[in-house]
């Protein structure tokens, strides 16, 4: 009988132990709109277009992103660079670059296909809006990045964010 | 099985039987074995410089190139042995050694043989550790072709094309070894009539289309398999568009028509379809101002107005001036409207005389190659039918065909000719009749009239007699007066020569000249060459309009104010009409005079069949979308609004079906039969007219005879000043014979004023023996040159040439 | 035994009278008495082989001419550009009439009406002398219409190239002669079937044609008796490099190379040690010193792993850095590649780049292996023999003197040279 009582208390304490431990630990939830979550580095959120060290657009308008896109949400129209005022490093640049963010499935194939590391999917996940038209991200939306997006190219030709 | 002309070989353990003389690379295709190539092109023949196609042949000590090796009996070939794979990887490594990694930017990316072969046969890595060659990147070879020398792999396809196909040797390899480059001599622009084809045959992105550069990737294009609508060759081409904008035009090889080439006018001469001068809206002119109306309403209005005039003045008071640039469907429906519904025979599409049908076979392009002799009469293919020009050059230089030329001017083909005779301008009837007599019973005609010596006429007769298979190519548009009947007589005389096989190609320069005649856009023939009561011809209609007897005219894609002889007189005559309807795709001098305007879609937007000069009916597919109604819908609306039994056509093929039912010769033409390569229509019956008398050339007291020469690149509604081909435009020139120049005191480069009929044309004097003395040749270089204004209505026009 | 160089140093031999005084132009009587086919048979029987490099039997080449196709052409290949070779030049400058006589006889044998001598671009002096000699021959009736009453017509022209090594290749020579770009043509058809202006053409070297008069006047048996069993007659050898007496020597084929170097050419300079020799001009593989006893004839040299080529013996003593020598040779081939075929155009440059790296002491063993692999990718895969010729010195120098390469590589690993 006594043994049974002790057993009960023991189990009670084990159960309450979990309760007390969680009482003092940091909560896993956080108050989202006020606190923003820090996403892992490889998170595939909203797209951005990169610029190179000289401030030129990296994108050369090759359309490989759009041909790789499984849902066909990227539209690129290329044009020839004016050598005196180049927009990008190569002979061509993307005159129009549009991504339909509603249709996009954030698979990251465009980033993988890009031969010049121009299009990237970054950790920005707040994509809610009231207007469908705002989901067509144009060049002016994509080339803006909240922090100066600088990259360095390593010896293998891969770029890393600084 | 033991056919002497067949060879059995084994490729990768698969037996294959191919004709003798086949190259290994082609034989391998038969069994689905791919041998990679760069420099080999089936139209250019074996060359063997890129070394990509190395294969192993048993009993041969070293690897051999499949593109130069013809099949031998019992050959055993391996294309996948370790030795071959090593060689392929090695050669690809060499090829890529100094090839830049431009693929994302390169226009060839996605359709590049170098990319494809590297993927399929390459090693996947590079061992190159040095800087790649640093050659010139963007270098214009001509205003329409740009070369990127870094990308060039020196396969010499382009230079061989210029040498073998064009026979120009304009593009050559300069320098030696590693520094060799594709260039022209002395930095001249590479501006031949067929230069654009090098873009298509370049296996890398070295030669690029300046117009298309960086505009779109190949996989983004919507490619429409359509036809060229410029000349009578009707070459097959692919119209690539993106978001309904014309991007580029490429060849679409059809050996029966174009042999895989198109001219520069086809490739670069289509920017008019996006021109600002296009007529896009129907309109009626009220009080001098144009009012926009619905196209169908306008069509009904046209039909009502025409039938009212017919009721009032009789059917002879209305007329139709069509154009050889329309499709068969459109022309057929117009013919139906005017002949059957309005009951008039006043239909025509040309200013010269011509009749449908030939007394001998109607030959097509292939016969030019298989003939023994090509007899060119009054035709200048280089300016009129460029791809026929290439075909004739091929026949002469590579098939051993002889070429005889009978013309009133010297042409670019003369240097390929066995015999070239120049008759006097306006003496074509006399020359043709002299030749016919010479062939029939001997005799050489009167040299003072024809301008051809008895000796030359004799050797021409001999040449024709000795040709076992003769292909006559004649241009009816260059013949004056009734000479066409003389020519038909000559053809029947040639046809009667014993032991001779012969046929003719009526090589009129316009797109659908043969089709327009077949569809009965003629005053004296219904569709299929059936004789009809004679109505008014084009020139007669202008005369009657002038005199006020003709009340209404409908112009379908015709611009008589510029294109018809007479100039101001034509304009005045048209102003005299009660009703002038212009159905055209471009704003023209004639459309300015119109009372009602109907928009025509024109090439690129329209669809339908056309018949080329070889009698081949092909389907011209729509390349771009338009909101406007197709022309045949507008015409059928006119017919239906007047007819008691309306016929509704759903697609243009419904009209084609009606054509195949109603037009003799077109019985087997239908959607299915013309799908791939087109189909030759049955030749229409020829009317055996009596042999006409040679017309006396009207003489003038003073001046020289005028010959207006066609030019391929004319500054007109099609090629505007903003066209990429503008560098081909010439200033107004007049070719004066040296004798006449001496008489008139001209020297090279002088300014001359040509006057006749109250019109004046200024031109630069070029002293050349392009024609016989007593005449001048004025190439038609621009619409605003006004050279047609000098021409009178008669068979030969005289002009006074003075110093300006 | 001297056939070609019999009176070579006689003063005034370039003039017709002196040449005739030495028995020149005497072979015609004998030749014109026979049918052309018989002359071809005589040359066949003599065993005379092409002296330009390939060593193809001359008479056999003549007999391959397309039957009954006229006109035919004879072209003398005087585009002597192989590094190390200078034998034709001596013949041309000192004894032009010998070549004219040989060409007349060959033209008779091959029923040729027009003949050309294609000179290397730098041979202006020789061409001027030849023009004078041709003039004399015309005046004497040895050239022109109905030569010596034989009924044979022959016109002889000289043509100077523009300084391209590739034009020594017969089909490139024909292209150049026609005024086209000097690039080799596709074979078949061979020149004997479709050569100059697409007509049957014989192309022979100066030395080959110059040997014909002697064969005709002295007889095939006498010529065939000279030399070894398969390599008959005499050969001009241009000995150059580190010998005491460099120069052109006429030898009987089969003489040992040691004799050639140490007796005729006086031995190695400063009595140094022989390191390597190139037996037949720069295109032929290099041989190490231990092969020096090889007989100087086509077969023996081939058995030793090289070729007799045009007979230019280049001798290198022990002071030579083989890598540097190879670098120089490979520069020559890069410079002279016509650029027609990919392996040669790109490969020659790549090899030169890698050799440059090795010579500068910044190469690795990997580079040496890479060179061998490039050689393998090029050899027998190029359009014409120039590609193979470019491979010859590189592959053979690595094969025979790899230690030289490795020494340079070691320098890097020892840190002697900074990258």
Question: Are the Cβ atoms of C339 and B127 closer than 8 angstroms?
Answer: no
pLDDT at position B520 is 93
Binned at pLDDT 50, 70 and 90, residue B791 comes out as confident
Question: Do B375 and B326 sit in the same domain of this protein?
Answer: no
Give B794's pLDDT tier (boundaries 50, 70, 90). Answer: low
Q: Are residues C242 and C359 in the same domain?
A: no
CA distance B118 to B742: 65
Distance from CA of B250 to the nearest CA of C (A): 28
Do C186 and B68 make contact, defined as CB atoms within 8 angstroms? yes
Give CA–CA dist B158/A155, Å, rounded.
39
- Contact A58/B at CB under 8 A: no
Tell which of C187, C339, C369, C419 to mutate to test the B interface (max B CBs under 10 Å): C339
Whether residues B400 and B533 share a domain: the answer is no
Taking an 8 Å cut-off on Cβ atoms, the answer to whether B178 and C337 are in contact is yes
In this predicted model, what pLDDT tens digit does every residue of B129-183 receive, in sequence order? Answer: 898 888 888 899 999 999 999 999 999 999 999 999 999 999 999 999 999 999 9
Give the number of B-C residue pairs with CB atoms closer than 8 Å.
93
Is residue C378 domain-resident? yes
Nearest CA of chain B to the CA of A74: how many Å?
Answer: 12
Same domain, B643 and B541: yes
Tell me the chain C residues in contact with residue B52 when contact means C-beta distances shorter than 8 Å. Answer: 342
Chain B residue numbers with beta carbons less than 8 Å from the beta carbon of A68 are none
CB-based contact, A62 to chain B, within 8 Å? yes
Q: Are residues C312 and C326 in the same domain?
A: no
Domain map of chain A by residue range?
A: 47-161
Instruction: Tell me, yes or no, whether B439 lies in a domain.
Output: yes
Query: Predicted confidence band at B568 (pLDDT cuts at 50, 70, 90)?
Result: confident
Q: Which of B224, B249, B273 is the last residue of a domain?
A: B273
For B574, the domain range is: 282-350+512-680
Domain assignment of residue B529, yes or no: yes
Residue of A nearest to B103 (CA): A62
Chains within contact range of chain B (3+ C-beta pairs < 8 Å):
A, C
Shared-domain flag, residues C401 and C297: no
> Are B104 and A115 inside 8 Å of each other by CB?
yes
Q: Kindly state whether residues C330 and C305 are assigned to the same domain.
A: no
Average pLDDT over residues B541-562: 93
B216/chain A closest Cα distance in angstroms = 6
Instruction: Note whether C161 and C22 are same-domain residues.
Output: yes
Domain span at residue C352 reads: 322-413
Mark yes or no for CB contact B173/C348 under 8 Å.
Answer: no
> Do residues B643 and B519 share a domain?
yes
Q: Crossing angle of helices C36-46/C96-110, nearest 10°?
A: 120
pLDDT digits (tens, 9 = 90+) for B644-660: 888 899 999 999 999 99
Q: What is the 3-state secondary structure (H, E, C) of B443-467?
A: CCCCHHHHCCCHHHHHHHHHHHHHC
Average pLDDT of A14-38?
Answer: 85
> CB–CB of A62 and B104 under 8 A?
yes
CATH at B377: 3.40.228.10
CA distance C228 to chain B (A): 27
Interface subset of B 82-101, CB within 8 angstroms of C: 86-87, 90-91, 93-95, 97-98
Instruction: Clarify whether residues C138 and C177 are in a common domain.
Output: yes
- As beta bridge partners, residue B403 has B374
Tell me the C-alpha distance between B444 and B436, whole Å: 9
In a domain, B130, yes or no: no
CA distance to partner chain C, nearest, from residue B90 (Å) = 5
Which tens digit of pLDDT belongs to each residue from B57-99? 999 999 999 999 999 999 999 999 999 999 999 999 999 999 9
Query: Which residues, 6+ apart, have CB-to-CB distance to B473 below 8 Å?
Result: B368, B374, B375, B376, B377, B379, B381, B388, B392, B504, B505, B507
Residue C361 lies in a domain: yes
C326 lies in the same domain as C296: no
**pLDDT interval class at A149 (50, 70, 90):** very low
Q: C343–B52: do the CB atoms touch at under 8 Å?
A: no
- Flag whether pLDDT at B772 surpasses 60: yes
Please return the burial class of B320, using the count of CB atoms within 10 Å of its CB with bins 0-12, 13-18 and 19+: buried
Residues of C numbered 354-393 whose beta carbons fall under 8 angstroms of chain B's beta carbons: which are they? 370, 373-374, 376-378, 380-383
Average pLDDT (B225-229) is: 94
Closest CB to A78: pick one of B138, B215, B219.
B215
Question: Which residues, in sequence order, are CB contacts of C257 under 8 Å at separation 6+?
Answer: C277, C279, C291, C292, C293, C294, C295, C296, C313
Tell me, yes or no, if A116 comes closer than 8 A to chain B by beta carbon. Answer: yes
Pairing of strands C114-119, C155-160: parallel
> Are B176 and C346 in contact (CB < 8 Å)?
no
Q: Does A92 touch chain B (CB under 8 A)?
A: yes
Q: Which of A135-149, B168-182, B613-627, C80-94 has the lowest mean pLDDT?
A: A135-149
pLDDT band for position A153 (cuts 50, 70, 90): very low
Nearest-angstrom CA–CA distance, B482 and B479 = 8
Compare all CA atoms of chain B with the CA of A62 and give the residue at the minimum distance.
Answer: B104
Average pLDDT, chain B: 92
Let me know: does B758 contact B797? Beta carbons within 8 Å: no
Please tell me which residue of chain B has the smallest CA distance to A88.
B105
- Residue B685 scores a pLDDT above 80: no
The band of A158, judged by pLDDT with boundaries at 50, 70 and 90, is very low
Whether A90 contacts chain B with CB within 8 A: yes
Q: What are the chain B neighbours of C353 within 8 Å (beta carbons)? A: 130
Task: Mark yes or no for CB contact B219/A91 under 8 Å.
Answer: no
The Cβ of residue B517 has, within 10 Å, a number of other Cβ atoms equal to 27
Band the pLDDT of B697: cuts 50, 70, 90. Answer: low
Confidence of residue A124 (pLDDT cuts 50, 70, 90): confident
CA C241 to chain centre: 18
Interchain proximity B173–C181, CB inside 8 Å? yes
Inter-chain CB pairs, A–B, below 8 Å: 40
Quick check: is B25 in a domain? yes
- Among B271, B688, B274, B719, CA closest to B496: B688
Domain check: are B307 and B232 in the same one? no
CATH number at residue B66: 3.10.20.740
Q: Are both C188 and C282 inside the same structural domain?
A: no
Interface check A119 vs B, CB under 8 A:
no
Do C58 and C194 share a domain, yes or no? Answer: yes
- Closest partner residue to A91 (CB to CB) among B214, B217, B242 is B214
Chain B hits for A64, Cβ within 8 Å: 104
pLDDT at A6: 93
The shortest CB-CB distance from B220 to any of A63, A91, A92 is to: A63
Q: How confident is the model at residue A127 (pLDDT cuts 50, 70, 90)?
A: confident
Q: What is the pLDDT of residues B423-479, one digit of tens each?
A: 999 889 999 999 999 998 877 778 888 889 999 999 999 999 999 999 999 999 999
Residues B451 and B522 in one domain: no
Distance between CA atoms of B379 and A107, rounded to whole angstroms? 63
CA A86 to CA A51: how far, in whole Å?
Answer: 13
One domain for residues C348 and C302: no
CA dist B628 → A45, B223, B281, B634, B640 (Å)? 44, 21, 8, 10, 19
Q: Which two tokens stand for residue C377?
A: 């990718």
Domain boundary residue, one of B620, B646, B680: B680
Domain end point (choices B240, B273, B306)? B273
Q: Which residue of C has its CA nearest to B159?
A: C181
A162 band by pLDDT with thresholds 50, 70 and 90: very low
Residue A64 contacts B, CB cutoff 8 Å: yes
Does B105 contact A92 at a Cβ distance shorter than 8 Å?
yes
Q: Does B175 touch chain C (CB under 8 A)?
A: yes
Q: Calculate mean pLDDT across residues B615-635.
A: 94
- What pLDDT sits at residue A154? 45
- The reply to whether residue C380 touches residue B172, judged by beta carbons under 8 angstroms, is no
For residues C175 and C307, membership in a common domain is answered with no
Shortest CA distance to B695 belongs to which of B521, B503, B545, B484? B484
A45-89, pLDDT tens digit by residue? 889 898 887 888 889 999 999 999 999 999 999 999 998 999 988
Low-confidence ranges of chain C (pLDDT < 50): 415-419
Residue B651, pLDDT score: 92
Q: Is B124 exposed, middle or buried (0-12, 13-18, 19+ CB in 10 A)?
A: exposed
CA distance B551 to B433: 39
Do the Cβ atoms of B214 and A115 come within 8 Å?
A: no
Claim to verify: residue C102 and residue C192 sit in the same structural domain: yes
Cβ distance B180 to C335 less than 8 Å, yes or no, reads no
> What is the band of B795 on the pLDDT scale with cuts at 50, 70, 90?
confident
Shortest CA gap B151–chain A (Å): 14
Residues B332 and B463 in one domain: no
The CATH number covering residue C52 comes to 3.40.50.11540
Strand-pair category, C287-288 with C274-278: antiparallel
B338 and B366, same domain (yes or no): no
* Domain assignment present for C4: no
Cα dihedral C395, C396, C397, C402, rounded to 10, equals: 80
CATH T-level fold of A47-161: Alpha-Beta Plaits (3.30.70)
**Cβ–Cβ below 8 Å for A79 and B215:** yes
Q: Based on the structure, what is the number of domains in chain B?
A: 5
Does the distance separating the beta carbons of A78 and B216 come in below 8 Å?
Answer: yes
Helix (H, G, I), strand (E, B) or coil at B653: helix
Yes or no, beta carbons of C342 and B153 under 8 Å apart: yes
Position C1 in a domain: no
Alpha-carbon distance of B718 to B736, in angstroms, equals 29
Residue B501 banded pLDDT, cuts 50, 70, 90? very high
**Residue B371 covered by a domain:** yes
Shared-domain flag, residues B673 and B576: yes
Chains B and A: 3 or more CB pairs within 8 Å of each other? yes
Cβ of A60 within 8 Å of Cβ of B213? The answer is no
Same domain, B722 and B754: yes
Q: How far is CA B766 from CA B301, B420, B703, B749, B777, in A?
A: 51, 22, 17, 6, 10
Question: Cβ of B153 under 8 Å from any chain C Cβ?
Answer: yes
Tell me the pLDDT band of A40, cut-offs 50, 70 and 90.
confident
In the 8-state DSSP scheme, what is residue A77?
Answer: E
User: Which C residues, 157 through 176, put their C-beta within 8 Å of a C-beta on chain B?
Assistant: 164, 166
Into how many domains does chain C fold?
3
DSSP assignment, residue B163? Answer: I
- Per 3-state DSSP, chain C is made up of helix, strand and coil in percentages (nearest 5) of 50, 15, 35
B45: left (phi over 0), alpha (psi -120 to 50) or beta: left
């Amino acid at each position: 009988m006594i043994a049974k009582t002790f057993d009960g208390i023991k189990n009670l304490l084990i159960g309450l132990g979990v309760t007390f431990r969680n009482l003092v630990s940091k909560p896993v939830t956080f108050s989202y709109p006020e606190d923003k979550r820090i996403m892992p580095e490889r998170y595939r959120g909203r797209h951005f277009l990169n610029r190179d060290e000289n401030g030129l657009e990296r994108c050369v308008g090759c359309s490989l992103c759009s041909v790789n896109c499984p849902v066909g949400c990227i539209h690129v129209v290329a044009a020839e660079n004016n050598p005196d005022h180049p927009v990008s490093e190569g002979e061509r640049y993307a005159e129009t670059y549009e991504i339909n963010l509603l249709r996009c499935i954030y698979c990251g194939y465009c980033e993988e296909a890009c031969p010049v590391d121009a299009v990237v999917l970054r950790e920005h996940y707040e994509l809610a809006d009231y207007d469908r038209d705002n989901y067509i991200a144009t060049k002016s939306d994509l080339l803006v990045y909240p922090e100066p997006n600088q990259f360095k190219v390593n010896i293998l030709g891969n770029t890393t964010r600084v | 099985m033991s056919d002497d002309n067949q060879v059995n070989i084994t490729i990768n353990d698969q037996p294959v039987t191919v004709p003798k003389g086949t190259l290994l690379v082609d034989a391998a295709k038969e069994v689905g074995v791919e041998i990679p190539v760069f420099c080999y092109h089936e139209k250019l023949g074996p060359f063997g410089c890129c070394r990509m196609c190395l294969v192993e042949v048993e009993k041969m000590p070293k690897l051999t190139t499949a593109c130069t090796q013809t099949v031998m009996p019992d050959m055993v070939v391996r294309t996948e042995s370790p030795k071959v794979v090593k060689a392929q990887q090695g050669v690809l490594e060499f090829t890529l050694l100094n090839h830049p990694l431009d693929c994302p930017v390169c226009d060839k990316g996605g359709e590049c043989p170098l990319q494809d072969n590297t993927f399929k046969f390459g090693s996947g890595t590079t061992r190159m550790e040095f800087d790649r060659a640093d050659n010139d990147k963007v270098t214009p070879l001509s205003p329409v072709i740009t070369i990127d020398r870094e990308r060039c792999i020196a396969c010499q396809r382009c230079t061989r094309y210029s040498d073998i196909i064009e026979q120009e040797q304009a593009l050559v390899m300069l320098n030696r070894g590693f520094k060799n480059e594709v260039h022209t001599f002395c930095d001249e622009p590479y501006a031949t009539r067929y230069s654009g084809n090098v873009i298509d045959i370049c296996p890398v992105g070295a030669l690029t289309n300046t117009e298309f550069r960086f505009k779109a990737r190949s996989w983004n294009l919507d490619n429409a398999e359509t036809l060229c609508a410029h000349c009578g060759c009707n070459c097959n081409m692919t119209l690539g568009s993106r978001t309904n904008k014309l991007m580029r035009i490429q060849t679409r090889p059809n050996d029966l028509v174009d042999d895989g080439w198109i001219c520069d006018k086809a490739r670069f001469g289509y920017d008019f379809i996006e021109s600002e001068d296009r007529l896009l809206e129907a309109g009626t002119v009220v009080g001098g101002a144009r009012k926009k109306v619905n196209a169908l309403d306008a069509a009904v209005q046209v039909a009502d107005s025409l039938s009212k005039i017919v009721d009032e003045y009789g059917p002879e008071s209305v007329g139709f001036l069509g154009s050889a640039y329309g499709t068969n469907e459109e022309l057929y429906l117009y013919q139906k409207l005017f002949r059957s519904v309005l009951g008039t025979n006043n239909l025509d599409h040309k200013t010269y005389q011509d009749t449908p049908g030939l007394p001998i076979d109607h030959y097509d392009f292939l016969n030019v190659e298989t003939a023994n002799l090509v007899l060119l009469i009054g035709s200048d293919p280089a300016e009129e039918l460029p791809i026929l020009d290439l075909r004739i050059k091929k026949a002469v230089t590579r098939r051993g065909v002889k070429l005889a030329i009978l013309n009133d001017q010297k042409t670019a083909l003369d240097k390929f000719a066995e015999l070239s005779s120049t008759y006097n301008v306006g003496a074509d009837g006399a020359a043709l009749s002299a030749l016919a007599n010479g062939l029939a019973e001997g005799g050489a005609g009167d040299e003072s009239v024809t301008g051809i010596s008895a000796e030359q006429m004799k050797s021409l007769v001999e040449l024709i007699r000795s040709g076992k298979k003769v292909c006559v190519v004649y241009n009816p548009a260059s013949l004056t007066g009734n000479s066409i009947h003389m020519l038909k007589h000559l053809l029947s005389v040639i046809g009667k020569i014993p032991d001779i096989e012969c046929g003719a190609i009526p090589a009129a320069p316009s797109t659908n000249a043969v089709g327009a005649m077949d569809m009965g856009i003629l005053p004296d023939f219904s569709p299929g060459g059936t004789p009809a009561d004679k109505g008014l011809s084009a020139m007669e209609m202008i005369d009657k309009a002038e005199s006020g007897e003709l009340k209404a005219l409908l112009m379908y894609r015709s611009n008589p104010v510029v294109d018809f002889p007479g100039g101001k007189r034509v304009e005045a005559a048209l102003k005299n009409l009660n009703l002038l309807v212009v159905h055209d795709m471009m704003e023209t001098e004639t459309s300015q005079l119109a009372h009602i305007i109907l928009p025509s879609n024109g090439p690129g937007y329209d669809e339908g069949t056309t018949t080329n000069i070889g009698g081949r009916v092909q389907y011209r597919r729509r390349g771009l979308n338009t909101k406007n109604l197709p022309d045949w819908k507008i015409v059928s609306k006119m017919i239906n609004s007047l007819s008691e039994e309306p016929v509704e056509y759903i697609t243009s093929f419904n009209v084609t079906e009606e054509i195949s039912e109603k037009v003799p010769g077109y019985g087997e033409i239908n959607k299915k039969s013309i799908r791939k390569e087109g189909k030759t229509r049955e030749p229409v019956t020829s009317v055996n007219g009596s042999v006409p008398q040679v017309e006396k050339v009207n003489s003038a007291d003073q001046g020289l005879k005028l010959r207006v020469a066609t030019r391929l690149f004319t500054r007109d509604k099609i090629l505007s000043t903003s066209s990429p081909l503008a560098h081909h435009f010439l200033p107004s020139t007049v070719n004066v014979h040296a004798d006449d120049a001496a008489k008139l005191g001209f020297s090279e480069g002088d300014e001359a004023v040509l006057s006749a009929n109250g019109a004046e044309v200024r031109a630069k004097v070029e002293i050349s023996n392009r024609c016989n003395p007593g005449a001048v040749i004025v190439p038609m270089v621009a619409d605003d040159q006004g050279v047609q204004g000098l021409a009178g209505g008669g068979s030969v026009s005289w002009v006074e040439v003075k110093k300006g | 035994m001297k056939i070609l160089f019999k009176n070579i140093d006689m003063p005034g031999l370039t003039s017709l009278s002196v040449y005739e005084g030495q028995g020149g132009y005497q072979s015609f009587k004998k030749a014109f008495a026979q049918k052309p086919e018989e002359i071809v048979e005589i040359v066949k029987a003599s065993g005379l082989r092409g002296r330009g490099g390939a060593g193809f039997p001359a008479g056999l080449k003549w007999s391959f001419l397309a039957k009954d196709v006229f006109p035919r052409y004879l072209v003398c290949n005087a585009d002597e550009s192989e590094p190390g070779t200078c034998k034709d030049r001596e013949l041309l400058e000192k004894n032009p009439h010998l070549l004219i006589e040989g060409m007349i006889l060959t033209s008779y044998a091959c029923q040729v009406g027009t003949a050309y001598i294609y000179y290397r671009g730098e041979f202006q002096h020789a061409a001027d002398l030849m023009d004078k000699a041709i003039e004399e021959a015309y005046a004497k009736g040895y050239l022109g219409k109905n030569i010596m009453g034989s009924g044979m017509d022959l016109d002889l022209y000289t043509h100077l190239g523009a300084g391209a090594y590739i034009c020594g290749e017969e089909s490139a020579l024909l292209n150049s002669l026609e005024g086209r770009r000097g690039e080799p043509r596709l074979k078949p058809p061979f020149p004997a079937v479709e050569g100059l202006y697409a007509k049957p053409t014989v192309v022979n070297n100066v030395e080959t044609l110059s040997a014909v008069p002697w064969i005709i006047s002295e007889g095939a048996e006498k010529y065939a008796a000279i030399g070894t069993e398969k390599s008959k007659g005499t050969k001009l050898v241009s000995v150059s490099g580190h010998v005491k007496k460099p120069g052109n020597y006429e030898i009987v084929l089969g003489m040992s190379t040691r004799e050639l170097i140490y007796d005729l050419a006086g031995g190695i300079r400063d009595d140094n040690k022989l390191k390597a020799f190139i037996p037949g001009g720069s295109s032929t593989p290099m041989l190490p010193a231990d092969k020096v006893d090889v007989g100087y004839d086509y077969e023996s040299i081939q058995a030793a792993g090289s070729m007799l080529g045009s007979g230019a013996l280049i001798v290198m003593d022990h002071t030579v850095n083989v890598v540097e020598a190879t670098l120089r040779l490979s520069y020559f081939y890069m410079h002279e590649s016509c650029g027609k075929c990919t392996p040669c155009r790109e490969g020659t440059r790549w090899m030169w780049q890698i050799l440059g790296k090795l010579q500068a002491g910044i190469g690795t063993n990997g580079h040496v292996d890479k060179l061998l692999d490039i050689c393998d990718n090029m050899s027998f895969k190029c359009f014409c023999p120039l590609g193979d010729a470019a491979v010859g010195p590189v592959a053979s120098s690595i094969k025979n003197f790899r230690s030289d390469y490795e020494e340079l590589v070691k320098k890097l690993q020892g840190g002697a040279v900074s990258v």
